[in-house]
Chains A and B, each alone.
Chain A
Amino acid sequence: MNRTTCEWTRELIPDHAAGRLADDEIALADLHFENCDECRDELDLAYLVFSSRAVEPEDLADKIKAVVHSPTVNNRRRWWGLTAAAVASLAIGFNVILDRSGLPDVPLVESGFELESENLWLTDDGLIAGAPMLEGLSDEALAQLLDELMVGTSGGAA
């Protein structure tokens, strides 16, 4: 069997097994399977793998949404956004460039597993260095800090 055709087909096998291919791709791949036992066997195996994938519990989405939309998490999320804005302002004020690119760092905190609903706040993800240092501030103190930062950046470091 033509090696290039096998390579092309093997790239499609996972999506073929899972029913994710368009009809014209299925037709082309099936033509190849008729004459290539090697690729056919790989398709059969991929089908077994896909058939045995785990199914999520029916109520999982509702459980997640209930927690995500809970007042505690909502407040934390909005407050975190404010904190991040404060840190960004701080960075502008001191001409600091923060590295916040792309995906989260690979080794995230190990705290998630045992979280209970009354203790949902997760600490530093490493996304914005130093942000948790502001965690102890009240909303009023934070607003004051933001005011000061606004003054600092508008008056400042040219």
Chain B
Amino acid sequence: MSDDEWSEVILSDEELVERGKTGDDSALGILVNRHHGAVYRVALSILSDESAAQDVAQDAFIKGFQAMVGFRGEASFRTWILTIAANEARGVIRRIGRRKETAIDLAAPVQSEDKGPDETAVIASEAARARRMMEQLPEKQRLSVVFRIDEGLSFKEVGEIIGSSEGAARVNYFHGIRRLRELME
């Protein structure tokens, strides 16, 4: 295993940030590897535009790394970079005025041994419908659902990113889920 591969496995985000502050580019590369998917999805969940979400993901890392000297670890690096991405995406919304609806590449449902191809296709169709229905949720409810389920963020982290308390993030999540169930019926 090379030094970089070893670092990728064993170093925490906080250790990588400290290395990044001293100009260690490989540490920054590992942070990108770990978090670019979540950063992209956070941007996409706000923008609904794949190309714009990629631009925002790129800008978020540039801005995050440039401001890293001010990062003192009160929040996790993940929350920090996702918050920057969300703010960048909101900035885009403010500038261009509205979200653009586009077809988005979705993850394929995992085909398990107990589900045949037909059932897997039905699940894929229902999953795509669920994602479309989520567009009808108020933004904080939708983002709470996306961040909690897709990224596994705690309600505290969700709250930090959407600008709410932990309790409000929890309420937004459960209201969002309940509303989504109604929409899916």
What total of chain B residues lie within 8 Å of the partner, measured CB to CB? 74
Which residues of chain A from 83 to 132 have any CB-CB distance to chain B below 8 Å in the complex?
Answer: 84-85, 100-104, 106-113, 115, 120, 122, 125, 127-128
A57 and B40 CA atoms in complex are apart in Å by 9
A108 and B167 CA atoms in complex are apart in Å by 24
What total of chain A residues lie within 8 Å of the partner, measured CB to CB? 56
| A55 engages B91 (CB within 8 Å) | no
Most B-side CB within 10 Å, residue of A18, A80, A103, A125: A103
| A45 engages B106 (CB within 8 Å) | no
Closest to A81 in B: B69
A101 and B69 CA atoms in complex are apart in Å by 12
Q: Does A60 contact B (CB under 8 A)?
A: yes
User: Chain A 36-76 against B: per-residue CB contact (8 Å), 1 yes, 0 no?
Assistant: 00000110011011111111110011011101110001101
Q: Does A152 contact B (CB under 8 A)?
A: no
Q: Does B109 contact A (CB under 8 A)?
A: yes
| B130 engages A15 (CB within 8 Å) | no
| B91 engages A109 (CB within 8 Å) | yes
Q: What is the minimal beta-carbon distance from A120 to any residue of chain B, in angstroms?
A: 6
A131 and B134 CA atoms in complex are apart in Å by 41
A97 and B156 CA atoms in complex are apart in Å by 28
Which residues of chain A from 7 to 48 have any CB-CB distance to chain B below 8 Å in the complex?
Answer: 10, 14-15, 17-18, 20, 41-42, 45-46, 48
Q: What is the minimal beta-carbon distance from A81 to any residue of chain B, in angstroms?
A: 5
| B134 engages A49 (CB within 8 Å) | yes
Given A45-B130, A60-B40, A106-B87, is A14 in contact with B152 using a C-beta cutoff of 8 Å?
Answer: yes
Closest to B47 in A: A113
**Interface hit among B1-9, B11-19, B20-28:** B20-28
Most B-side CB within 10 Å, residue of A42, A112, A127: A112
Q: Does B98 contact A (CB under 8 A)?
A: no
Chain A residues contacting B143 (CB-CB under 8 Å) are: none
| B66 engages A51 (CB within 8 Å) | no
Given A51-B127, A53-B106, A61-B36, is A45 in contact with B184 using a C-beta cutoff of 8 Å?
Answer: yes
| B95 engages A53 (CB within 8 Å) | no
| A64 engages B32 (CB within 8 Å) | yes
| A67 engages B177 (CB within 8 Å) | no
Which residues of chain B from 76 to 132 have any CB-CB distance to chain A below 8 Å in the complex?
Answer: 79-80, 83-84, 87-88, 90-92, 94-96, 104-110, 123-124, 126-128, 130-131
Closest to B128 in A: A52
Chain B residues contacting A52 (CB-CB under 8 Å) are: 106-107, 127-128, 130-131
Besides the known contacts A52-B128, A65-B28, A67-B58, 15 further A-B residue pairs in the complex with CB atoms under 8 A apart:
A14-B149, A49-B145, A50-B149, A52-B106, A57-B50, A68-B61, A69-B25, A73-B65, A103-B75, A106-B87, A109-B91, A112-B63, A113-B52, A122-B63, A128-B70
**The 3 residue pairs across chains A and B that have the minimum distance between CB atoms:** A112-B59, A110-B91, A52-B127
